[in-house]
Amino acid sequence: MTDRRILVTAALPYANGQIHIGHLVEYIQTDIWVRFQKLRGNRTVFFCADDTHGTAIMIRAREEGRTEEEVIAEMSEAHQRDFAAFGIEFDNYGSTNSPENRELCNGIWKSIREAGLVKEEDRRDLYDPEANLFLPDRFVRGTCPNCHAVNQPGDNCSKCGSTYSPPELIDPRSVISGAVPEAKMMPHALIELERLHDFLEEWSQSGKHLQPEVANNLRGQFLGDPDSEDGAKELRDWDVSRPMPYFGFEIPDFKGNGWYVWFDAPIGYMASTKQWCDRTGENFDDWWKSDDAEIHHFIGKDITYFHTLFWPGMLKTAGFSLPEKVHIHGFLRVDGEKMSKSQGTFIMASTYLNHLEPDYLRYFYASKLGPGLGDIDLNLEEFVNRVNSHLVGNIVNLASRSAKFVSGGTLCEEYPDDGGLFTAAVAKADQIAEFYEQCDFASATLEILQLADEANRFINDRAPWKLKKDPEKAEEVRQICSIVLNLFRQLAVFLQPVLPKLAEQAGELLNAPISNWDDAKTPLTGTPVSEFKHMMQRITKAQVDTMVDESVVEEPADEGSADNESPWNDGPEALEAEPMTEECTIDDFVKVDLRVARVIEAKDVPEANKLLNLTLSLGGGETRNVFAGIKAAYKPEDLVGRLVVCVANLKPRQMKFGLSEGMVCASGPGKADVFLLDVDDGAVPGQRVH
RNA sequence: GGGGCCAUAGCUCAAUCGGUUAGAGCAGCGAACUCAUAAUUCGUUGGUUGCAGGUUCGAGUCCUGCUGGCCCUACCA
């Protein structure tokens, strides 16, 4: 053990949704860093919790007819199951809705009050009289006062881009109940952050706690240069209360109001620590009020302000330790674009697990993550290539091509001359460790891969498979394999933070568990070599494709309400929602074989939210099995017998519920607003549409 | 509207303080090898560093403007 003591947190996932592969960037990154610190012998603890408070949870609980507690308990279990499956090991996983958190919130709030940072003032809130709750702006929709686009969110118009406040909307409606929200002036408690200006400037600009891009952003945004023309900019008051009813802790000296979720969420880091302390007998203050313990937060760039302004301000005021470092990462993109439900790239952790090993993703993210906060791209083709060539072809292959020559025997009693390979890798250990320390996992894995290349070159040059034919050279074969297996083990140590399972397997193969970074510094000698078992399978593109197909969710359409306009004065909404595509030729058009078809069978797909399973007849016994997303709009029994238009030559697509061999033509935004194409009397199945 | 970050090979990314001929991996192409999970090794193709200027002996790197992307924020910035 060294004397470093490190407390690490990852951001608290919100209890309103499942973990997806975007979340996993952060948890995998953090877990790798934590495992690295543990492997180095640093005393490291890793805490997380579910973020449970707020209006969204309230609404969800009501919709489902359950209590908030039931909703968050179920979600917490699901989150922890996903994390565990990806090898993410927390020392404690708590909840912001815990007694520990309430007590800590009370204490910190008291300090902030006593420091004179709290002021109370009336602010405008929107009240939904039917649902009996206050609405955040995004829960109100109405007609844009500027361009009159219907069904726009409460804060800005997606059509014309203008901004406004919800009361300015024409015909504002609560998205919960449809009621007209009432604007009420309600008391709020605000923290006067500007009073902490000097402290925050010093802390954020010190160069020690934040990545330079983040510090620059804060400076430009808030802190400014007092000597410049603009002068220092003022930090705005932070509204930390919400009028009840609100799912959250009631503020003890401000009855009828709860803390805004972002007040109690980071305190959840502490509450989780507290639970761990109570369980293990550790002393809470040794971690949160000690100069000897480092606190590291890992977060996404979207929640920067909460962790770099509000949170340090709260900690400072309440007399707790400040973060040693806030590590901020970018978002995940898939194939260069935002994750998309309709493209199938919004992949849930649980869906991923149905098809692929967690370690593939751990490795891939590691190989892409640098110290900066740019977005990282999960290019699916690259994912397959990288895992197969780096991990299976290069690293695991080292064991695969050497172990069987010595299985059942032992490694050499003395480490043979390897031309300096092992020592050269030892010499790189510190550099690799530094990359890990700086969260530059991409550089770390690159270095490790180069070592694997050298080891592969070595075995190629020495060709033990040739020597094996000569019984007199058995000892030389054993020497070569002892070297290669030791080089492999070295790589397994270096990769242990990323691939803990591989390190375990390497330990089993050579009958010497890997438990410390320094295990890479001394060659193993004389230990028995177990029989070689495959450690990792290659990925096929088909596995990835199936995962994507299973992730496809049809986009929920905007619930655009019909206008009360004259029958011929058709609105522009439909065309705007789906702009015209580029011009095509007649040759392009004839590629699509549209046919009249009769629905001869229509079945509900019980497990699917939106799909009906149709059997279409093209006449003469020719049929197509089709899954159509029209469940909300049509009943199966109403469809049987009717004629539709279908794409008859569409490449069949494997869906979760079966093979879909075509498409039924329909218009409309989705859900109940789907309108099947009809044909006039006289048409018969099998006729082509020209 | 204000602010921040970014733009380098087909793709994903490097390039120290401004310093030689801008490097890797993957993909592609050619060969060797056959122990290994179609793995490995060697060779090789591929670049007007987004655009236009400027500073400098020298610019991917610094400055100005433009274009494009991402993020934050907004009658306050």
The CATH number assigned to the domain holding A636 equals 2.40.50.140
- What is d(CA A478, CA A495) in angstroms, rounded to the nearest whole number? 25
> Across A196-200, A316-320, A557-561, which has the greatest mean pLDDT?
A316-320
Q: What per-residue confidence (pLDDT) applies to A568?
A: 36
Q: What per-residue confidence (pLDDT) applies to A671?
A: 61
- What is d(CA A401, CA A485) in angstroms, rounded to the nearest whole number? 10
Q: Model confidence over A202-259: pLDDT tens digits? A: 888 888 898 888 888 888 777 755 444 444 567 888 999 999 888 999 999 999 999 9
| Å between CA of A338 and C1' of B54 | 38
State the average pLDDT over residues A427-442. 90
Q: Which nucleotide is nearest to A456 (CA to C1')?
A: B40
Within A 197-226, residues with CB less than 7 Å from strand B: 213, 216-217, 219-222
Question: Same domain for A35 and A153?
Answer: no
Which residue's CA shows the smallest distance to C1' of B2? A221
- The verdict on residue A169 lying in a domain is yes
- The verdict on residue A670 lying in a domain is yes
- The verdict on residue A182 lying in a domain is yes
A352 confidence band (pLDDT: 50, 70, 90): very high
Q: Model confidence over A149-196: pLDDT tens digits? A: 777 777 766 666 666 777 777 888 888 888 888 888 899 999 998 889
Mean pLDDT in chain A? 85
Q: Model confidence over A137-146: pLDDT tens digits? A: 778 888 777 7
Q: What per-residue confidence (pLDDT) applies to A228?
A: 44
State the average pLDDT over residues A666-685. 73
- The verdict on residue A684 lying in a domain is no
Is the CB of residue A649 inside 7 Å of nucleic acid strand B? no
> Which of strand B's nucleotides are less than 7 A from any protein C-beta?
2-6, 11-14, 24-27, 33-37, 39-42, 70-77
- What is d(CA A159, CA A576) in angstroms, rounded to the nearest whole number? 9
The answer to whether the Cα torsion of A79, A81, A83, A85 is positive or negative is negative
Q: What per-residue confidence (pLDDT) applies to A600?
A: 83
Q: Which domain holds residue A30?
A: 5-107+260-329
CATH classification at residue A433: 1.10.730.10
Question: Same domain for A219 and A130?
Answer: yes
Within 10 angstroms of residue A116's Cβ, the number of other Cβ atoms is 10
If one counts the domains in chain A, the total is: 4
Q: Which of A302, A329, A356 is the last residue of a domain?
A: A329
Question: Same domain for A238 and A153?
Answer: yes
A579 confidence band (pLDDT: 50, 70, 90): low
SS (H, E, C) A144-210: CCCCCCCCEECCECCCCCCECCHHHCEEEEECCCCCCCEEEEEEEEEECHHHHHHHHHHHHHCCCCC
Question: Same domain for A122 and A234?
Answer: yes
Question: Same domain for A209 and A270?
Answer: no
Question: Same domain for A124 and A89?
Answer: no
Indicate if the pLDDT at residue A564 is higher than 50. Answer: no
Is the CB of residue A321 inside 7 Å of nucleic acid strand B? no
Is the CB of residue A374 inside 7 Å of nucleic acid strand B? yes
- The verdict on residue A363 lying in a domain is no
| Å between CA of A281 and C1' of B31 | 65
Is the CB of residue A343 inside 7 Å of nucleic acid strand B? no
DSSP state of A676: E
- The verdict on residue A454 lying in a domain is yes
- The verdict on residue A457 lying in a domain is yes
Within 10 angstroms of residue A499's Cβ, the number of other Cβ atoms is 28
Is the CB of residue A301 inside 7 Å of nucleic acid strand B? yes
Is the CB of residue A516 inside 7 Å of nucleic acid strand B? no
- The verdict on residue A151 lying in a domain is yes
A376 confidence band (pLDDT: 50, 70, 90): confident
Q: Model confidence over A9-28: pLDDT tens digits? A: 999 999 988 999 999 999 99
Question: Same domain for A455 and A496?
Answer: yes
- What is d(CA A3, CA A23) in angstroms, rounded to the nearest whole number? 32
Q: How many residues does chain A have?
A: 690
| Å between CA of A329 and C1' of B35 | 42
The more confidently predicted of residues A683 and A195 is A195
State the average pLDDT over residues A336-352. 85
Q: What per-residue confidence (pLDDT) applies to A351?
A: 92
Question: Same domain for A64 and A131?
Answer: no
Indicate if the pLDDT at residue A582 is higher than 70. Answer: no
Question: Same domain for A221 and A265?
Answer: no
Is the CB of residue A162 inside 7 Å of nucleic acid strand B? no
CATH classification at residue A181: 2.170.220.10
Question: Same domain for A265 and A233?
Answer: no
The more confidently predicted of residues A403 and A273 is A273
Which of A314, A304, A313 lies closest to A267 in space, CA to CA? A314
Packed helices A311-318 and A197-205: angle between N→C axes, nearest 10 degrees: 110
Q: Which of A243, A276, A306 is the last residue of a domain?
A: A243
Least confident stretch, A87-101, A190-204, A374-388, A631-645: A631-645
Question: Same domain for A286 and A173?
Answer: no
Ramachandran area for residue A25 (φ above 0: left; ψ -120 to 50: alpha; else beta):
alpha
Q: Model confidence over A42-80: pLDDT tens digits? A: 999 999 999 999 888 888 898 889 999 999 999 999 999
- What is d(CA A564, CA A610) in angstroms, rounded to the nearest whole number? 29
Question: Same domain for A267 and A149?
Answer: no
CB of A336 closer than 8 Å to CB of A377 = yes
Residue whose structure tokens are 């604007």: A183
Q: Model confidence over A436-481: pLDDT tens digits? A: 998 989 889 988 998 999 999 999 999 998 888 888 888 889 999 9
CATH classification at residue A290: 3.40.50.620
Within A 381-440, residues with CB less than 7 Å from strand B: 382, 385-386, 388-390, 392-394, 396-397, 400-402, 404
Cis ω for the linkage preceding A245 (within 30 of 0)? yes
Q: Which of A291, A312, A329 is the last residue of a domain?
A: A329
Instruction: Output the pTM of the full model.
Output: 0.80
